[in-house]
Chains A and B, each alone.
Chain A
Amino acid sequence: MVESYVIMRVGEERYGAHVSQVQSVERLGEITPVPRTLSFVKGVIHLRGSVVPVIDLAERVGLRHRVQDADEMRVVIAEVEDRVVGMIVDGVEDVVQIPPETIEPPPAVVGGLQAVYLRGVARVGNDLLVLLNLNRVFSAAESEQLKQIEQFMTS
């Protein structure tokens, strides 16, 4: 039994997202900014009749984009616990099969990323692939959002 992961490139790093959580991969189109929200929330996009929020994954996890062609950038649409969110990444490379038993628990910090955002690490060929825990990536954003609102309300 192997599981499939979509490999996304952010800056110099590659991250894996479980296919069951990925709905589709889209070209980067026009984004409508949403004012008064967190800086990594880039806005909303029109996706086949729906309105979907998009976040900048690099900014979210504290990394930098590699300066590159916007044509290569993609929006990975993921659905986690009823939340549909698009993640802007520098590119989508491949779908790989990873046997679950080869996944190791994440070290405390990998390439500047906190362990809470990680599901684990797996060896793909000669490279180490960091598997994202999208539930964390998305839900933490929500609670930060709430924190910010509270600050806004009390200020």
Chain B
Amino acid sequence: MNREYLDAFLAESAENVEKLEDGCLELERQGPEANLVAELFRAAHTLKGMSATMGFSRLAELTHRVEDVFGLWRDHPESFQSEQVDILLHAIDRMRLHLEAISTSGSELDLKDDDVMASLQAAFQAREPLHSSQKTDPEEDGARYATEAERQAKVAYRLHIQLSPDCMMPGVRLAMVYQTLKDAADIAASSPTEDAVWAGDVQTPEAYVVIYLERDEIERIQEKVLDITDVARCDAERLVASSGSSSRQDSRGNLASQETQSQSMSTTPSESAARPGNNDSRPDRSIRVSVRRMDALVNTMSEMVIAKTRLDTLAAASNDPALREAVERLDRLTKDLQDEVMQLRMAPVESVFHRYPRMMRDLERKLNREFDFVMTGLETEMDRIVLEEMGEAIVHLLRNAVDHGLESPEMREQRGKPRRGTIRLSAYASGGHIYIEVADDGAGIDRARVLQSAIAKGVITPEEGASMSDEAVYELLFRSGFSTAKEVSDISGRGVGLDAVRDKVESLGGKIRIDTELGRGTTFVIELPLTLAILPALLVSVRGQTFAIPTANVDEVVRLRETDLRYVQNEPVYPSEDRIVPIVDVAEWLGLGVRQWIFPQTAVVCRDGKQKFVMVVDKVLDELEIVNKPLGRYLEGVRGFSGATILGDGKVSLILDVRSVGQSV
């Protein structure tokens, strides 16, 4: 089969599967809202059609059954049972497996889908209306709003607002839409809710809003809304009070007739008639670029920076003012270009965060918790590589929050808290750093219990414990001994794999800390550098070879005198501030030569997390911004270096991995 077609099929199918999954989660939250079900039906229908065309019969059969279920809910919303969403999610997981298999081997999984099929069939046949949990009937709602509007001498409209799919900040755009609507009309109801939109918690690219208008000027309002950047469509439907009209029922149950009945408007009406929902003509579009080409661009860019540094040196030595001026200008342009190129490496956190809602939902079920999972700042951008590396660590923290942070619903009620907890994952940029926070409103961390357990384990003495700051106590949770101890995690409610999380964060040049309040909840705050590609570093010379030490790891540069040293078991140590720190002779550590100190001896005081040590070098040469280059897969086993950089003279210099040096002392 033509690989190009196959790739297109896979890309589009993946999109539809994601749409189905997101929609199912939405369905579970708000019930079988007519437009949502219609959208799900469409997604399943498209997927079924494509799979059948491509000859993937299992996938087609599976989606067909799923489509049936959505069809049932569309026509008989009363038959919806939220437990059935599980069945659909299983089916969606199965679709993913098939798609993965198609992607790698070109054919579907050799797997009978009987299990999933059977449960789907059962769901399809479960037509028993659920009188007990009477969901809000949108039909009734429409009439109710219309009646209420009439009472106020107004008219009611239901608006369906769709943002263009490549909209970067749906939350912001929807807030603008809501503001516009608020200025011109009363908002009677909306999905997402106004509160959510104002809070910036919204990521969906569409919204339904019921508004009351004093005068029937809906077209003017539609125009205003469409004037907002990234709004692709704004369809309006007049709500009518008198119930029992069969035509309205059709417009609800049947998608085609709904469209003919509602006033439909689009930014480019003539074009949308031919290609509905197509936003090709919109400004500020994006293009896809492969990661490989992106990296090549960054490479060339950094080489240019190196060449420019060389030119700087030459210009500085010359007396030609014109040359100097030209080089200065080049300097500024290079800096701008560098910023732009680095910007391209950035990816919105959403690209990794989008898989968490499903995971959290499954955890909620599995661990018998009840909570809302809220993500904010999804548009925050950070270095693609840092982001991908962080993915697993965030999973760790989220699991931890569900498992150990939140109390059980019963416990929460006993303590007078709302039964449903909240877990919040937020990302934001501030002062050259990116922050990622995982917060729960659970039990918080009990200082006394952590101390008790640390003392019991002999990590600290009772006296030490009494004088420790809260911060220092929470810090204990990141110790590896703590993390693996099961009983500690049960008692303190924290500590599973936290050492691994900290390792990951620090290996990326970041920091992690805990804010907690007993009974109120716990927040993990991760601070990360904006990018790993360029970092400030100290250049040092050791036996004639130049090495770079990331400034993030450097506390200070000192000149050691012989009298500064103390000896512990014949090994020299350095008393720094409140403690004794070990000394590493870099030449010796690297096997470049034996120790030969010449006092006063240049040394760099380094820090890796809590650990502090002194690295003895021959000379400090410079402090500058360096471009971090990977050493490549062939050398990935070599310890002691985190990468390499190319200096102004074109020579390669290795970047010392302070962490691995520190681990050896």
Contact = CB atoms under 8 A, between A and B. Distances in A.
Interface stretch (B241-249, B296-304, B376-384, B385-393): B296-304
A45 B652 contact: yes
A49 interface: yes
Given A41-B635, A46-B651, A84-B634, A33 B644 contact: no
A35 B640 contact: yes
Given A35-B640, A45-B652, A82-B633, A51 B646 contact: yes
Contacts of A146: 637
Given A30-B651, A44-B631, A44-B644, A49 B637 contact: no
A142 B637 contact: yes
Interface string A46-86: 10111111000000000000000000000000000011110
B644 A51 contact: yes
A121 B590 CA distance: 41
Contacts of B646: 46, 49, 51
A141 interface: yes
A143 to B, nearest CB: 9
B293 to A, nearest CB: 14
Interface string B270-314: 000000000000000000000000000001101100100000000
**From B632, B634, B650, B652, residue with most partner A Cβ within 10 Å:** B634
A53 B634 contact: yes
Interface residues of B, number: 29
Contacts, number: 78
A149 interface: yes
Interface in B639-665: 639-641, 643-644, 646, 650-654
Contacts of B300: 49
Interface string A115-155: 00000000000000000000000100110011001001000
B635 A50 contact: no
B637 A53 contact: no
A51 B638 contact: no
**From B590, B592, B637, residue with most partner A Cβ within 10 Å:** B637
B591 interface: yes
A34 interface: yes
A32 interface: yes
A48 B300 CA distance: 8
A37 interface: yes
A84 B635 contact: no
Contacts of A49: 299-300, 302-303, 306, 646
A32 B634 CA distance: 16
**From A30, A50, A84, residue with most partner B Cβ within 10 Å:** A50
Nearest to A81: B633
A50 B631 CA distance: 9
A50 B629 contact: yes
B637 A51 contact: no
Nearest to A31: B652
Contacts of B651: 30, 32, 46
Given A32-B652, A34-B635, A138-B634, A51 B591 contact: no
Given A32-B545, A32-B654, A36-B591, A145 B632 contact: no
A83 B633 CA distance: 6
Contacts of B303: 48-49
B23 interface: no
23 contacts: A32-B652, A32-B653, A34-B631, A34-B635, A34-B641, A35-B590, A35-B592, A35-B640, A36-B638, A37-B638, A41-B635, A44-B652, A46-B650, A46-B651, A46-B652, A49-B302, A49-B303, A83-B633, A85-B634, A141-B634, A142-B637, A145-B637, A149-B639
Given A49-B299, A51-B643, 16 more contacts: A30-B651, A32-B644, A34-B638, A44-B631, A44-B644, A46-B651, A48-B303, A49-B303, A49-B306, A49-B646, A50-B629, A53-B634, A53-B635, A83-B634, A84-B632, A149-B637
The 6 closest A-B pairs by CB, nearest first: A49-B303, A35-B590, A49-B299, A32-B652, A145-B637, A51-B644
